[in-house]
Structure 1
């Protein structure tokens, strides 16, 4: 991109903000806020104009002070506003001198809407009467709350003062410096409260609020330099739980709190405990003390994203931070642990050192819950999802140009997050975790409170390892896609070749120009069965030969640590599968998971047959590890999803799934105990859910019977938290209006967040009541929960086409309701990516042809790619799948 193009979307660099004195008054009763900001500027070039970001605010009282002249403050001679670029330009008759300093003071007013972005309003309590307000600025919404230079590179310090009603709580990034009753008419400038605000407060009675309301002023300590998207504040009648931790580096004790409204605060203890446990771990890993005086978390009822790493004030939705340990399933517990740990990690990566694409230090909460096997779970939770998305022609690099705010919003996907985490996991495994973390620490220390680019991280890790990290990593970060390595055996070894992997089949020459430096992680076995890992071998050219005894078991990508797929011959895959099925096996849990994911992805792309992947699964039928079973279940579910309009194939797949998972259900039963291993608990849940989805009669009877007991008595003791999702879905699918109504009541008043989301998804499994489910979403559900309804209606193959029509019929209403936040692209994805025909593809293109898709263009292109690949897969592999099941029937296996 040319420098001219960059100037078009980046703010001018003639002035730079260094500090903000920000005062905000919140009027929850009137759903309004106003305030004043004084922005301290360094004048880098002579200029007669000042350009900053602002949107959806009414500005007033604009004054410019400069140390270059001692006369009265300047007011703009003219003002321009660019709605598209979300910026205002102030013109002055007297220029600012290069090298001087200036202060720009602006008063502003705004509305507290329910948009789940900028400074917005939410509500708790049974009747949503407990109103409060909070901020969500990432990526470009700070400009909707106060005038600012709203770009990550333009870090500044912030001194924030909040004015609110006296019976509310004020929160911000930093600790409270002072709090006092506010006396209308006071102009205590040490608190940053200017006369303009004082005048407004003195006129409250005229504005329609009670003149007897008591108000207070809360002044917060000045922050370190930070980006505007990390600035945060909130106001409301919050309750809190409190804890603390002792820094292992300094011995200091820091207070930790989690805030929420009174009706939900009792479910926040677990998230607080996680925060207390991970903070000292991160300090030791990074060898850098957490730099702020406190760390709060605020739980919000209405929240567009999952959670947000605002420095010192983490925010997030209820499902990310709340649970009742006595009635919450293990999956929800993992979600809370992951969410809190993830956001705390951002206090270093993203906050201390702001790096646009870094995310997720591959789940360091593994040190707290080793029994969860989080490094293994990374393969299904992060790696496979990123690889699926990156296999599309519409994929994008981890580092991607963001010419406007719409593009910034769209790159918060599995590539920016999951692929980034995956390639860093690969690098850590290649160089060794200890050296990797030492390099990370070096990088952080060198860029404290500053901004950085990718090469800065590479320099830190390179210094710690002596390896040319940019040579190895640049294409993983800057290029789109990833490779498939084809293995051809010779009598002396293996010949390997890398090409770009695409889900639509072998890449054309123009799409196959990148050569990656691939850590091969070659696992071989000795005659005595001992395994040898050769982690130093890389493939940095198109092809090469590796000497190897191919009569012994071997496998590339040992541990599934590298970001590539491996294409073996069918004969070799069969041999590897048989070795994988042995007890003990030379191949780890991670190896077996990777085999399943690779086999199915390669068959989808036409590199191999689906029958080959099914044969692999058949061989692994005696597997004991739930994570391997999870990969089997998800991939068989993918086949059911793709061939959902082919009754003979879905019937055969369902029978196969019942055959695989039924014995596990019979072995493990339906009862959970507190002292059983988490792996046993997860395998039971997985097997019951898979068998129920496939229509196993005994499982369906058990689950619907348990829900019938609840409907009759109101007693939910027969619905274990881990089975609530399967029970809701099965009962709605097999039942009628009574079951649907009962699940709807749970969705409306859930006992915990996971029960609420499970119930919402469950509602989507009634074909007869699909329209009422959709209407319930439009009229009663919180906007943050809309995508859960779409998940249910999309997962239910019988309601998919209904969902497409409902989306189209209600498109204008959906777009309006979700204007400005992330959710519209998620709805597009769930509605259309599961379709499977060429006609579907053409219909989707036609529907969006005349529409402005700029807010979700990437999700739309990815969904179209999914439709195309599914259609091609069906054409290519239907006969193969049918014949495999026919052969099994003929052999008496079914």
Structure 2
């Protein structure tokens, strides 16, 4: 029993601890014996569950979680004797709690047993025990039953004590047609014929102690491949419509990764097998169910001949992320959802750490600076962000924190600690943490204690400020030549640039990582509002070396110019250059620096040679162009011309032909520059894309290399019409791999013709696009004003249908709202969005609405502040006519 849970008697349906709605503590589950029989025709299932309970307090009721289940009967026993054969069962739908009340009081210390018979629906919401569909080669629709329990949907599958700290053991039995494959977390204990041989009952071995959200079971037609390269067997499963050999990359990687993690954590993987399953309908990227990981098809299966380098990197990262969870999350689990970051932040960090070990040539720590770190800083620069350790009280609040704060900022904090401690010492601290808390539950302080013990450093004192507070600082640097020193000052950073005094009270411990010609000083730390630091030679210095610190750095324009020159002189690492551009972009957008300074900095990088730096240059220019999307066409065309001037020469130099000699990064570099030039109307690239597409349309499916497939589709659709649209639509419908299908679906939004925009929106509304993929065609519409406007009209006109299709408690609705609304950038648009949602009950997606509104406000402020500055720079640099 964890300290965060405390009893309040036995008769209530919920126990409010720390303001949370949680179950009473009068009983504690020890073991579940669960039997389920799904019907893949009627989309229902029958179930019975027998729960062994320890009675902690005298009680005459048992409350447990249940949601959208029909409980038909209940039996309560004590020490083997029935005390209530048909007790009253009441449901609190809002709290998702079923309470079984009986006349006889069971005294504390007894062993009780609760048996429930129930039925449920195999829903199509990708939550709980649900149905997933795929099409056979003959076009017939087939179904499988699968699960997604995290965070609070085990209660949709069966009545249970659905809180992370209430760990128990599980024995699962699945009853299904004889030809179907049955899977669960554990291996099969025994199988027998039932119902006269028409069906089989498959019973799995009893699991270790685990949380309900990690339970999983699957029934369906599945093929598999297997490897015995690891100590226990590993299999990849997929439905018959997929080429199971496309699971080979993930299968081999899993065997290597499990062995690597066993050694890194000094702890054996405790389950007898590892299954990884590609699910046709899946709301997240993957789910770390212990011993039975489920994935989106596109995040597990990889056709290396038909997919680009970035897709391969994504698959590797997802597989290694989920396998890290087998220890960090599954073996050791946060005690409640406000500790979600312990799971997700660590698994994210570990996937980068292991990926770097396995594929050093991918240079993933460079990518981290423009990916994970920027994702964290972007969301956390909004007023509507939240702390890493965010208080959550109700089930409907939990889905909303599966975001860039829990994942990206969480992992960025861990990267900062690992740099501060040293990676080897950090891993030793993690080992100690896992050994001490195996099969138990923890809070953030338990991790800090293990890391402090391993390093001898005051980890909690330094790190609590980062996890318990929202936001991060901007560090402003001023120079004192006479004293050969710099003064650094920290303030809260907000993208809207309007920090109020009461929002700027937190003082962060900022690791300055000061780079000079002598190297990097890792000891300098800013803990006050403002401090002076000596710098021997002011000719060259830079803060936040390699950008592992979670802050923005604001230099004077003169220093920024000198740093641009230092970059050309080879004094800055790739991470330094990319991070400096990211900081400049964010500071310009929020009013700390002029946008003309950012444009001049980007212009000075035209001879840059590294993919990661170019990626960030184009991200920052893309953010500017997106903010100016509804401004006058001369300015928009001038920004496009500036992009063309930056990228065309590099795109032509690198080319768009790929060979076996191109390394992983070069492949992505060529693809990036080709796409950037083409979408900026570079005539050579546009023509090349159209020629490739023409050969492709004529039947040469190898005419477009997978690395540039999305760019070619987008360029051609942007410049084409219905004929090109129909060809790309056909690829969505008939391509051989999920990767190509989803690429085609996303690119359809690039078509700017009003009739084609309506076709894209109609497709998003149709059953042809799975709920898991609805965001793809919608996100494709963001590159042009007509698409953004039409998308908003679509959301308003179809609100009731969208709300019904994507229930707010499941997370996808919030994603669709953010995609649809966040592209706006004018005061009139802001007013319209505010008015629309003011009339709605936003429970379950209120964070998404607030963050979208904040994003619009930030762009409005940016344009009002720097509209004239951008226009003048474009005129002065001859990208726009001087009027």
The TM-score normalised by the length of structure 1 is: 0.93
| 1:707 and 2:693 aligned | yes
Aligned to 1:255: 233
Aligned to 2:563: 576
What are the Cα deviations for residues 536-566 of structure 1, in whole angstroms up to 9, with x where unaligned? 1111111111011343311000000110110
| 1:494–1:545 contact (8 Å) kept in structure 2 | yes
What are the Cα deviations for residues 29-72 of structure 1, in whole angstroms up to 9, with x where unaligned? 322211111111111111111100001111123001112xx643
- 1:125 Cα deviation after fit: 2.9
- 1:714 Cα deviation after fit: 1.6
**Cα separation, partners in 2 of 1:772 and 1:448, compared to 1, 3 Å:** same
Instruction: Select which of 649, 657, 661 maps to 2:635.
Output: 649
- Report which stretch shifted further, 99-108 or 25-34: 25-34
2:111 and 2:391 map into 1 onto residues whose CA distance is 32
- Report which stretch shifted further, 19-28 or 410-419: 19-28
Aligned to 1:125: 135
| 2:495–2:586 contact (8 Å) kept in structure 1 | yes
- 1:183 Cα deviation after fit: 4.4
| 2:874–2:880 contact (8 Å) kept in structure 1 | no
Instruction: Select which of 298, 323, 332 maps to 2:311.
Output: 332
2:377 and 2:735 map into 1 onto residues whose CA distance is 35
Aligned to 1:222: 206
- 1:396 Cα deviation after fit: 0.1
2:330 and 2:607 map into 1 onto residues whose CA distance is 47
Alignment of 1:356-395 (within 5 A): 356-358=340-342, 359=344, 360-362=348-350, 363=352, 364-395=354-385
- Report which stretch shifted further, 374-383 or 542-551: 542-551
1:801 and 1:171 map into 2 onto residues whose CA distance is 46
Aligned to 1:92: 102
Instruction: Select which of 90, 94, 114 maps to 2:124.
Output: 114
Secondary structure of 1:717's partner? Answer: coil
| 1:641–1:797 contact (8 Å) kept in structure 2 | no
- 1:6 Cα deviation after fit: 4.2
- 1:245 Cα deviation after fit: 3.3
Instruction: Select which of 586, 590, 601 maps to 1:605.
Output: 590
What are the Cα deviations for residues 290-342 of structure 1, in whole angstroms up to 9, with x where unaligned? 11111111101111111100000000111111121111111111111111111
- 1:772 Cα deviation after fit: 1.1
| 1:872 and 2:861 aligned | yes
- 1:615 Cα deviation after fit: 1.4
1:892 and 1:783 map into 2 onto residues whose CA distance is 46
- 1:129 Cα deviation after fit: 2.2
- Report which stretch shifted further, 546-555 or 863-872: 546-555
- 1:676 Cα deviation after fit: 1.5
Aligned to 2:46: 34
2:207 and 2:349 map into 1 onto residues whose CA distance is 25
Aligned to 1:245: 229
Aligned to 1:18: 30
What are the Cα deviations for residues 834-863 of structure 1, in whole angstroms up to 9, with x where unaligned? 100111111111101121111111011000
Aligned to 1:480: 470
| 1:697 and 2:687 aligned | no
Alignment of 1:268-667 (within 5 A): 268-355=247-334, 356-358=340-342, 359=344, 360-362=348-350, 363=352, 364-491=354-481, 492=483, 493-525=485-517, 531-582=518-569, 585-646=570-631, 647-667=633-653
Alignment of 1:792-803 (within 5 A): 792-803=780-791
2:86 and 2:475 map into 1 onto residues whose CA distance is 63
**Cα separation, partners in 2 of 1:669 and 1:395, compared to 1, 3 Å:** same
- 1:8 Cα deviation after fit: 6.1
| 2:639–2:879 contact (8 Å) kept in structure 1 | no
1:885 and 1:581 map into 2 onto residues whose CA distance is 24
Instruction: Select which of 849, 861, 886 maps to 2:850.
Output: 861
Secondary structure of 1:464's partner? Answer: helix
1:473 and 1:365 map into 2 onto residues whose CA distance is 25
2:19 and 2:656 map into 1 onto residues whose CA distance is 62
2:134 and 2:297 map into 1 onto residues whose CA distance is 11
| 1:625–1:679 contact (8 Å) kept in structure 2 | no
| 1:764–1:796 contact (8 Å) kept in structure 2 | no
- Report which stretch shifted further, 266-275 or 572-581: 266-275
What are the Cα deviations for residues 399-423 of structure 1, in whole angstroms up to 9, with x where unaligned? 1111111110100000011100011
Alignment of 1:753-792 (within 5 A): 753-768=738-753, 769-779=756-766, 780-792=768-780
2:556 and 2:55 map into 1 onto residues whose CA distance is 65
| 1:489–1:550 contact (8 Å) kept in structure 2 | no
1:74 and 1:726 map into 2 onto residues whose CA distance is 66
| 1:305–1:822 contact (8 Å) kept in structure 2 | no
For structure 1, the 5+ residue unaligned runs are 185-212, 247-252, 526-530
Aligned to 1:207: none
- 1:7 Cα deviation after fit: 6.5
- 1:506 Cα deviation after fit: 5.0
2:683 and 2:140 map into 1 onto residues whose CA distance is 42
1:849 and 1:183 map into 2 onto residues whose CA distance is 55
For structure 2, the 5+ residue unaligned runs are 7-14, 335-339
**Cα separation, partners in 2 of 1:28 and 1:878, compared to 1, 3 Å:** same
| 2:638–2:880 contact (8 Å) kept in structure 1 | no
- 1:447 Cα deviation after fit: 0.3
2:565 and 2:388 map into 1 onto residues whose CA distance is 37
| 1:168 and 2:193 aligned | no
What are the Cα deviations for residues 843-887 of structure 1, in whole angstroms up to 9, with x where unaligned? 111101121111111011000000000000000011111111211
Secondary structure of 1:48's partner? Answer: strand
2:63 and 2:295 map into 1 onto residues whose CA distance is 32
2:195 and 2:116 map into 1 onto residues whose CA distance is 22
1:811 and 1:266 map into 2 onto residues whose CA distance is 41
Aligned to 1:827: 816
2:27 and 2:182 map into 1 onto residues whose CA distance is 32
2:93 and 2:456 map into 1 onto residues whose CA distance is 50
Secondary structure of 1:400's partner? Answer: coil
Aligned to 1:847: 836
Aligned to 1:739: 724
Secondary structure of 1:254's partner? Answer: coil
Q: CA RMSD in A?
A: 1.7
What are the Cα deviations for residues 382-436 of structure 1, in whole angstroms up to 9, with x where unaligned? 1101101000100100111111111101000000111000110011011110111
- Report which stretch shifted further, 771-780 or 158-167: 771-780
Secondary structure of 1:676's partner? Answer: coil
